């Protein structure tokens, strides 16, 4: 099952709806604490940092060294960074506008 198929399930739809209801950083932090393990939060944070650095033009090796991410993670994030889903691009654009 790929990510799009996973998102098509009813439980995943409820998760998406729940995320849309969050309006403050405090709300998001509370849900992440309840929903994720510390390691999952670290992994998600690392992927976003990898995306941020790649978007800033940092070379793969530098990104790996700075974040501790595996070459597989850096490669996957790079592929998704400008992929058709557009999630990283949307978030990075919004963060840079702040």
For the chain, the first-to-last Cα distance in angstroms comes to 36
Q: What string of pLDDT tens digits covers the 98 residues of the chain?
A: 888 899 999 999 999 999 999 999 999 999 999 999 999 999 999 999 999 999 999 999 999 999 999 999 999 999 999 888 999 999 999 999 87
Q: What is the largest CA-CA distance in the chain?
A: 40
The C-alpha atoms of residue 31 and residue 35 are separated, in whole angstroms, by 6
What does the H/E/C string look like for the chain? Answer: CCHHHHHCCHHHHHHHHHHHCCCCHHHHHHHHHHHCCHHHHHHHHHHHHHHHHHHCCCCHHHHHHHHCCCHHHHHHHHHHHCCCCCHHHHHHHHHHHC
69 neighbors 50 (Cβ within 8 angstroms): yes
The C-alpha atoms of residue 66 and residue 9 are separated, in whole angstroms, by 36
């Amino acid at each position: 099952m790929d990510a799009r198929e996973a998102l098509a399930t009813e439980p995943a739809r409820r998760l998406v709806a729940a995320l849309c209801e969050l309006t403050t950083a405090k709300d998001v932090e509370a849900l992440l604490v309840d929903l994720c393990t510390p390691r999952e939060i670290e992994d998600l944070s690392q992927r976003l940092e990898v995306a941020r650095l790649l978007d800033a033009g940092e070379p793969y090796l530098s990104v790996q060294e700075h974040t501790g991410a595996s070459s597989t993670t850096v490669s996957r994030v790079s592929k998704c960074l400008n992929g058709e889903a557009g999630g990283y691009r949307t978030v990075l654009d919004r963060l840079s506008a702040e």
